[in-house]
Amino acid sequence: MEDILEPSQERNPGKLWSPSFIIKLNRMDLSGKNYKDFIDRNEALKKQYSPERAEKQHSKGKLTAHERISLLFDPGTFEEIDAFVTPADTPVEFGKVEKTYGDGVIVGHGKINGRLVFAYAQDFTIMGGSLGYVHSKKIAKIQEMALKMGSPIIGMMDSGGARIQEGVASLSGYASIFQNIIQSSGIIPQISLIMGPAAGGAVYSPALTDFVFMVNQTSYMFVTGPNVVKEVLNEDVTSDQLGGAEVHATKSGVAHLIYDDEENTILALKKFLSYLPSNNVENPPVLQEDATPDINEKLREIVPDDPNKPYDVKEVINLLVDRNSFFEISELFAPNLVIGFARIKGKTVGIVANQPKVLAGVLDIDSSDKGARFIRFCDAFNIPLITLEDVPGFLPGYEQEHKGIIRHGAKMLFAYSEATVPKITVILRKAYGGAFIVMNSKSLGGDFSFAWPTAEIAVMGPDGAVAILYRKELAEAKDPDKLKAELVKKYRDKIANPFIADESGYIDEVIDPAVTRKKIVSALNALSNKWVKVPARKHGNMPL
Amino acid sequence: MNMMNIEKLIAVSSSGKDFEFEMPLKDKIVIQGEEYDIKLYYTEESGLYLVWNGKKYPVEIVKSKQNKYEILFNSISYSFTIETPFSLQRMKVLKVNKPSVGNISVKAPMPGKIVDIICQKGSKVSRGEPLLILEAMKMENEILSPIDGTVLSVSVSKDSTVMKDDILVEIEEKKG
Amino acid sequence: MNKLLIANRGEIAIRIMRTASRMGITTVAIKTALEPAAPYLATATEIYDNTAFTTAVPVFLDVDRIIAIAQEVGADAIHPGYGYLSESAYFAQKCIDQNITFVGPAPDAIYKMGNKTIAKRIARKIGIPMVDGSEGNISDADQAIKIAEKIGYPVIIKAASGGGGRGMRIVRKPEDMERNFNVASNESRKAFNDPSVFIEKYIENPKHIEIQVLGDTHGNVVHLGERECSIQRKSQKLLEEAPSSALDAKLREEIAGAAVELAKAVKYFSAGTVEFLLDADKKFYFMEMNTRIQVEHPVTETVTGIDLVEQQIKVARGEKLAFKQSDIKMKGWAIECRINSEDVQSGFVPSTGRIEKLEYPSSKHVRIDSGVTEGTTITTGFDSMIFKLIVSGENRKDAIENCKKALDELWITGIKTTLPFFRMLLRNEDFVKGNFSTSFVENKLDNFVLADKNEEALAAWIATKLFFEEHFSDDSNLDYEKGKDLGPWLLNRRIGQF
């Protein structure tokens, strides 16, 4: 009897994508009536996922839901739930509802790199993956299980949207999914993979989760689609231009990570998950091996002598963290701030770094939003924060002020201050004004603040300071340029340096860049048991 | 514990040549019908190197992004994208649906200063025609158009300093 | 001469200091803010720290500063190397005025040969053949077009006080004249502080042959044979050899004789180089004279056994040449490969970075003149030539074989270099046969690197391996239990919070 329910784990050499979890039944030799129905139903389910359906999906450059699941989970570990549910009856006859098993979504659990993960994958080949009542209940069920078990949940979206035939029941279905995401937020990591269309209310399901992955050319997200845009505004726009992966990765910031194809998206997700804990009580998994040298003299060579010369802060990051461990997030959105996960001595850290290469690394509306959300994620999931600071200030100007840089900058300030995970700052170069405070200053609750000898810590940059403090002298000077140059030099030498801050305790130590990693490692060790009691409250009121 | 739902990986070179490798990848390579041992090593002292056929070759990773790799192997640079059978198929499928015109970003090959801009937005350029002049290492380097096409935008101004890989000019490839 | 200040950096500074030290002379190198840890400093007996003195002009081009440094350190002589102030008559004169020995020719000779218009006039007077061109400098593109129409396209625009390919542009049709004129003039102004340019008829596919001359202050001038520098790209020399496979004994005598005549005409002393073009009919044309030590001087040293820097110093001390023309014997063959930090595959654009690993070939046939070590950072601030590989052999074939071996042994990572170019070149049939001209690199080569089919397959495997390691490597290193294993302090509080 042992071979009756044997999952087909063997690889089928002729066919690349064989859903490994469909039970192999042909060898069953049972005759009772119940068993006959059992076998028939299984056969029917197998037929439902026919090669024709798969081919249709493939011809659009997309994989089927089954193929996605089998790529994501360790072979033979995925267990499907509710495979045989059928769509709900519609209150009024309008349009056709395909009476299929599963109602256009696969839900279940399995192991990814050996760890329990829950997932749902919408199946575009069944009624366009549209979300009906039963479909939504399946998702909600798996969401609730993931929360109870304290395990990450992955959603793979490929859906035409709410099922029109089912009316308000399908809308209510969305609401219950949203409600579950919000309830689980900050308790288990929730990640969305957009692998086809996600339109209308459906976009809020990924938007509420922690991270959104998209696939170039085959995935879209928009609240109102091109047809509506055409109708209302009479503008011609393609789905890709309106809400393609590229747009959301660069302009809107909705997509955190985008890839050229689905395999790379799923492979990247698996790697990404390895940085995250299963829930907010545990710590992230630890990687054993690490041969990265703790002292690296190359770090001395990166920051140029000329304070106005740009450099790539990612070079610094890559030398500080374990070799090849930096996993950047939202690379293309607000690139003046670099964020991402990395490992130091095998343990996950979150990196927040100003990027002098882009807009001199200023803070603006987008980079504040980007930074704040990342900091809150790290805080929720016990991931220490490493801040690399080289910031000339906030981006000045009419546009930024009018769009509310005050509100947005406040988010970053709030997020840093609120975070109770270990917080370490290294000031590489500029640390001026309000931006110095915002970027995890010690007085804002930062645990350790280090500065390189190249650091310039002051209320404002030399030019601004000289212009204000010596306005009169400069106006009266015979050669104002010469006087200004002298004053700027004096300001740099005497005020804009790390030594005053060091001697007065506003930073912990001015360090040789070469030993930065060593300093961070010992700081992280010292902070590994950090606990801060936060005042009891419903929640703070973050300036959103 | 490995996921082995992918049967082979295909390295596609920048010139479009395919090299297939069975999964899981072994430390073996078949060259002209003969199988050789091949091994990649990393040591702190020597960096990355390859041993093949009794010889040591230096290997450097110039860029690696997603499935795109630019490596220096024995001082020569090679670019590959690593594909699966389906992602290759997908590439073909999506190319059919896509018009054949592409936009190319001309990037700064090195940090330097823009001393002259020869092309303008809208100007027609042919392959090998100078677009602008970048001064670096005390030499004026003509940055040449890699394709025939039309200049969509010039993203730098005269006398501006640029970093390596900054986008200088965007060119729309001529159809056909 | 007791104390020699080296007004230069990089490999040439090291090369000069080696000989000077061997001759018992104290050497002084200048430390600059741009490369305060440069390898050339380690060779010097004394280091002058000029890091605090930063100006827009590099110190090695700053006449007053160099003189001031020499006086401060008590140097009684200055060696300018090549480039920078090596061909500045003004600087040479300034040294003499301050009672400092300038290791090089007299200011007058530098001036006459440095100004190409004057140099041509002198050469014409003594009957050395040369190509048609503008009589003197030209002021604008229109004038250039007029002259070009007279002498016929293609023409070449050259910097009046230039060298080393800077400020040089070939023009093949009138509509390209204006742009090229401006580029050449700008480049010339930046490199030599003099925007003046002239034009002359461009000889298609010539060979570049140059004669090394050496004179003393007593009127003796000898030649040390020729060097062939036809392997060039955009007029930048890449590979030089001595002797040249294009010359026979008679032609050699003729060309070298002309070079010696020219040197004598300007009362030349110290080391100098007279450059000629040799066309397909083996007719030679005078191009210019370089009044300094050349980058490629080691090939001459290798075949003659004469240390040119030593001779420069001796001549500067007023000594007579210790040998006559008939004493000079050439033996064997030498090839020099210029290892530049350049990305050959992207069109020889400068490559920057940090030299991670650097292993030189070890062989008695190999000489390395290097200005870098492991850990040196290559920036865009300096010339891209980082070291020279000089390989000798009994004859050309032997030298090529030795050179191939040496190139295969050379291991350099961190930056892209011209190394793969030479690996290809030394295996090129036409090169091996001696069948090449100055347009060889640009016109005759389809591929600038050694394209081996096997190597591409190996590279493909490497890329696949990297991808595989990133996504499919054994995950047993990832420890989930360790993430759950919290101490009671943290666990109790964390749970208590919720």
Q: What does the DSSP assignment read for A6-58? A: -B--S--TT-S---TTSBP-TT----SHHHHHHHHHHHHHHHHS-HHHHHHHH
Q: What is the pLDDT of residue C484?
A: 82
The reply to whether A474 and A522 lie within a common domain is no
What Cα–Cα distance (Å) separates residue A115 from each residue in A118, A151, C115, C482?
10, 9, 77, 13
* Of A108, A173, A201, A461, catalytic: A201
> B144: domain range?
103-173
How much is the pTM?
0.83
Residues of chain B with Cβ-Cβ distance to C472 below 8 Å are: 2-4, 23-25
Q: Can you tell me the distance from the alpha carbon of C296 to that of C310, in angstroms, rounded to the nearest whole number?
A: 16
Query: Is this complex's ipTM strictly greater than 0.90?
Result: no
Residues of chain B with Cβ-Cβ distance to C188 below 8 Å are: none
For residue B63, the one-letter residue type is: K
Rounded to the nearest angstrom, the minimum Cα separation between C386 and chain A is 19
Q: How many CB atoms lie within 10 A of CB A218?
A: 23
On the question of pLDDT at B3 being above 60, the answer is no
Could you give the angle at the alpha carbon of C178 between the alpha carbons of C172 and C182, nearest 5°? 115
Whether the CB of B141 is below 8 Å from some CB of chain C: the reply is yes
CB contact under 8 Å between A283 and C470, yes or no, is no
Please report where in the chains the tokens 């001038």 appear, as a residue.
C221
What kind and span of H or E run contains C198? Answer: strand C197-201
Residues of chain C with Cβ-Cβ distance to A114 below 8 Å are: 475, 478, 480
CB contact under 8 Å between C478 and A113, yes or no, is yes
The reply to whether B115 and B80 lie within a common domain is no
Q: Can you tell me the distance from the alpha carbon of A461 to that of A391, in angstroms, rounded to the nearest whole number?
A: 10
**Mutate which of C168, C348, C354, C461 to disrupt the B interface (most B C-beta within 10 Å)?**
C461
Roughly how many angstroms between the first and final C-alpha of chain B, as a whole number? 48
Tokens of A10: 């063997």
Phi, psi for A273 (deg, rounded to 5): -60, -30
Picking from A401, A387, A385, A403, the residue whose alpha carbon sits closest to that of residue A355 is A387
Q: Which CATH number among 3.40.50.20, 3.40.50.1820, 2.60.120.20, 3.40.190.10 corresponds to the domain C3-103?
A: 3.40.50.20
Picking from C291, C276, C251, the residue whose alpha carbon sits closest to that of residue C92 is C291
In a domain, B136, yes or no: yes
Q: Can you tell me the distance from the alpha carbon of A327 to that of A329, in angstroms, rounded to the nearest whole number?
A: 7
Q: What is the pLDDT of residue A21?
A: 41
Q: How many CB pairs under 8 A join A and C?
A: 60
Q: Can you tell me the distance from the alpha carbon of A57 to that of C65, in angstroms, rounded to the nearest whole number?
A: 74
pLDDT, tens digit (0-9, with 9 covering 90-100), for A425-481: 999 999 998 889 999 888 899 999 999 999 999 888 888 888 899 999 888 888 888
Whether the CB of A217 is below 8 Å from some CB of chain B: the reply is yes
The reply to whether A117 and A200 lie within a common domain is yes
Nearest to B137 among C380, C467, C472 (CB): C380
What Cα–Cα distance (Å) separates residue C498 from each residue in A350, A536, C233?
23, 10, 71
Give chains near B: 3+ CB pairs under 8 A.
A, C
pLDDT, tens digit (0-9, with 9 covering 90-100), for A303-338: 987 787 889 999 999 999 998 899 999 999 999 999
Q: What is the mean pLDDT of chain B?
A: 83
Q: Delimit the CATH 3.30.470.20 region(s) of chain C.
A: 207-444
Picking from A361, A270, A313, the residue whose alpha carbon sits closest to that of residue A516 is A313
The reply to whether A143 and A244 lie within a common domain is yes
Whether the CB of C475 is below 8 Å from some CB of chain A: the reply is yes
The reply to whether B122 and B168 lie within a common domain is yes
- CB of A432 within 8 A of CB of A498? no
CATH number of the structural domain spanning residue B124: 2.40.50.100
**Mutate which of B17, B139, B141, B161 to disrupt the C interface (most C C-beta within 10 Å)?**
B139
Residues of chain A with Cβ-Cβ distance to C495 below 8 Å are: 281
In a domain, A30, yes or no: no
For chain B, what is the domain count? 2
Q: Can you tell me the distance from the alpha carbon of A165 to that of C284, in angstroms, rounded to the nearest whole number?
A: 91
In a domain, A470, yes or no: yes
Q: What is the pLDDT of residue C445?
A: 87
In a domain, A322, yes or no: yes
Residues of chain B with Cβ-Cβ distance to A357 below 8 Å are: 163
Whether the CB of A218 is below 8 Å from some CB of chain B: the reply is yes
For chain A, what is the domain count? 3
Any idea how long chain A is? 544
Q: Can you tell me the distance from the alpha carbon of C399 to that of C407, in angstroms, rounded to the nearest whole number?
A: 12
Q: Which long-range contacts (CB under 8 A, 24 or more apart) does B94-100 make?
A: B94/A61, B94/A217, B94/A218, B98/A217, B100/B175
Q: pLDDT 10s per residue in chain C (498 long)?
A: 999 999 999 999 999 999 999 999 999 999 998 888 899 999 999 999 998 887 778 899 999 999 999 999 999 999 999 999 999 999 999 999 999 999 999 999 999 998 878 998 999 999 999 888 887 788 888 888 888 888 888 898 888 876 666 778 888 888 888 888 888 888 888 777 788 888 888 888 899 999 999 999 999 999 999 999 999 988 899 999 999 999 999 999 999 999 999 999 999 999 999 999 999 889 999 999 999 999 999 999 999 999 999 999 999 999 999 999 999 999 999 999 999 999 998 888 888 889 999 999 999 999 999 999 998 999 888 889 999 999 999 999 999 999 999 999 999 999 999 999 999 999 999 999 999 999 899 888 888 887 777 899 999 999 999 999 888 876 667 888 888 888 888 888 888 777
Tokens of B170: 């965007």
> A412: domain range?
297-460+497-526
CB contact under 8 Å between C483 and A277, yes or no, is yes
Picking from B63, C171, C313, the residue whose alpha carbon sits closest to that of residue A314 is B63
The reply to whether B87 and B111 lie within a common domain is no
The reply to whether A219 and A322 lie within a common domain is no
CB contact under 8 Å between A283 and C484, yes or no, is yes
Q: Can you tell me the distance from the alpha carbon of A139 to that of A159, in angstroms, rounded to the nearest whole number?
A: 13
Q: Can you tell me the distance from the alpha carbon of C30 to that of C41, in angstroms, rounded to the nearest whole number?
A: 7
- Residue A358 — very low, low, confident or very high, per pLDDT cuts 50/70/90? confident
The reply to whether A87 and A230 lie within a common domain is yes
CB contact under 8 Å between A263 and B6, yes or no, is yes
Q: What is the pLDDT of residue A5?
A: 37
Tokens of A109: 């659990």
In a domain, B98, yes or no: no
Give chains near C: 3+ CB pairs under 8 A.
A, B
The reply to whether A488 and A503 lie within a common domain is no
CB contact under 8 Å between B139 and C183, yes or no, is no
Phi, psi for B28 (deg, rounded to 5): -140, 150
Give chains near A: 3+ CB pairs under 8 A.
B, C
User: Of the residues B44, B61, B92, which one is the last residue of a structural domain?
Assistant: B92
CB contact under 8 Å between C455 and B73, yes or no, is yes
Residues of chain C with Cβ-Cβ distance to B67 below 8 Å are: 467
On the question of pLDDT at A265 being above 90, the answer is yes
Residues 6+ apart with CB under 8 A from A52: none
Rounded to the nearest angstrom, the minimum Cα separation between C476 and chain A is 9
In a domain, B2, yes or no: no
Tokens of A59: 């011809």
User: Of the residues B92, B127, B156, which one is the last residue of a structural domain?
Assistant: B92
In a domain, A223, yes or no: yes
Q: Can you tell me the distance from the alpha carbon of A57 to that of C211, in angstroms, rounded to the nearest whole number?
A: 73
Residues 6+ apart with CB under 8 A from B156: B114, B117, B132, B162, B166, B168
The reply to whether A173 and A192 lie within a common domain is yes
Tokens of A173: 């279905």
What Cα–Cα distance (Å) separates residue B11 from each residue in A368, B19, B82, B130, C249?
39, 5, 5, 33, 55
pLDDT, tens digit (0-9, with 9 covering 90-100), for A222-249: 998 898 888 888 888 889 889 999 999 9
Whether the CB of A357 is below 8 Å from some CB of chain B: the reply is yes
The reply to whether A340 and A472 lie within a common domain is no
In this structure, are strands A423-432 and A385-391 parallel, antiparallel, or unpaired?
Answer: parallel
The reply to whether B72 and B141 lie within a common domain is no
In a domain, B118, yes or no: yes
List residues bridging with C201 in a β-sheet: C155
In a domain, B1, yes or no: no
Known catalytic residue at A340: no
Please report where in the chains the tokens 């996921």 appear, as a residue.
B3
* Of A435, A455, A501, A523, catalytic: A435
The reply to whether A257 and A369 lie within a common domain is no
Known catalytic residue at A434: yes
**Mutate which of A12, A63, A213, A263 to disrupt the B interface (most B C-beta within 10 Å)?**
A263
Taking every pair of C-alpha atoms in chain A, what is the biggest distance, in angstroms?
Answer: 108
CB contact under 8 Å between C462 and B40, yes or no, is yes
Q: Can you tell me the distance from the alpha carbon of C60 to that of C65, in angstroms, rounded to the nearest whole number?
A: 8
What kind and span of H or E run contains B151? Answer: strand B149-154
CB contact under 8 Å between A270 and C471, yes or no, is yes
Q: Can you tell me the distance from the alpha carbon of C32 to that of C62, in angstroms, rounded to the nearest whole number?
A: 13
Any idea how long chain B is? 176
Can you list the alpha helix ranges (DSSP code H) found in C47-176? 63-73, 89-97, 107-114, 116-125, 141-151
CATH number of the structural domain spanning residue A519: 3.90.226.10
For residue C22, the one-letter residue type is: R
In a domain, B135, yes or no: yes
Rounded to the nearest angstrom, the minimum Cα separation between A16 and chain B is 7
In a domain, A288, yes or no: no
- CB of C287 within 8 A of CB of C209? no
The reply to whether B116 and B153 lie within a common domain is yes
B53: left (phi over 0), alpha (psi -120 to 50) or beta: left
CB contact under 8 Å between B5 and A312, yes or no, is no
The reply to whether A315 and A205 lie within a common domain is no
Pick the residue with more confidence: A35 or B99? A35
What is the assigned CATH class of domain C132-201?
alpha beta
Could you give the angle at the alpha carbon of C300 between the alpha carbons of C294 and C305, nearest 5°? 130
Q: How many CB atoms lie within 10 A of CB B148?
A: 16
**Mutate which of B110, B162, B166 to disrupt the C interface (most C C-beta within 10 Å)?**
B110
**Mutate which of B3, B7, B20 to disrupt the A interface (most A C-beta within 10 Å)?**
B3
In a domain, B3, yes or no: no
CB contact under 8 Å between B5 and A17, yes or no, is yes
In a domain, A18, yes or no: no
On the question of pLDDT at A91 being above 90, the answer is no
Nearest to C383 among B9, B67, B137 (CB): B137
Q: What is the CATH number of domain C207-444?
A: 3.30.470.20
In a domain, B21, yes or no: yes
pLDDT, tens digit (0-9, with 9 covering 90-100), for C174-194: 888 888 888 888 888 877 778
The reply to whether B85 and B66 lie within a common domain is yes
Task: Check whether the bond before A422 is cis (ω within 30° of 0).
Answer: no
Whether the CB of C482 is below 8 Å from some CB of chain A: the reply is yes
Chain A, nearest residue to C36 by Cα: A301
pLDDT, tens digit (0-9, with 9 covering 90-100), for A129-166: 999 999 999 999 999 999 999 999 999 999 988 888 88
Residues 6+ apart with CB under 8 A from B102: B172, B173
- CA gyration radius, chain C: 26
* Of A104, A200, A361, A461, catalytic: A200
Known catalytic residue at A464: no
On the question of pLDDT at A69 being above 70, the answer is yes
CB contact under 8 Å between B1 and A114, yes or no, is yes
The reply to whether A100 and A155 lie within a common domain is yes
Picking from C111, C55, C67, the residue whose alpha carbon sits closest to that of residue C87 is C111
Q: What is the pLDDT of residue C308?
A: 97
Whether the CB of B144 is below 8 Å from some CB of chain C: the reply is yes
Residues 6+ apart with CB under 8 A from A163: A87, A97, A127, A130, A131, A132, A135, A170
The reply to whether A241 and A128 lie within a common domain is yes
* Of C9, C292, C396, C423, catalytic: C292
Known catalytic residue at C292: yes
Nearest to C479 among A271, A285, A297 (CB): A285
Tokens of C94: 């300034």
The reply to whether B117 and B158 lie within a common domain is yes
CB contact under 8 Å between B94 and A61, yes or no, is yes
Tokens of C148: 């070009």
The reply to whether B146 and B81 lie within a common domain is no
Residues 6+ apart with CB under 8 A from B85: A16, B6, B7, B8, B10
DSSP 8-state class, residue A347: E
Q: What is the pLDDT of residue A12?
A: 37
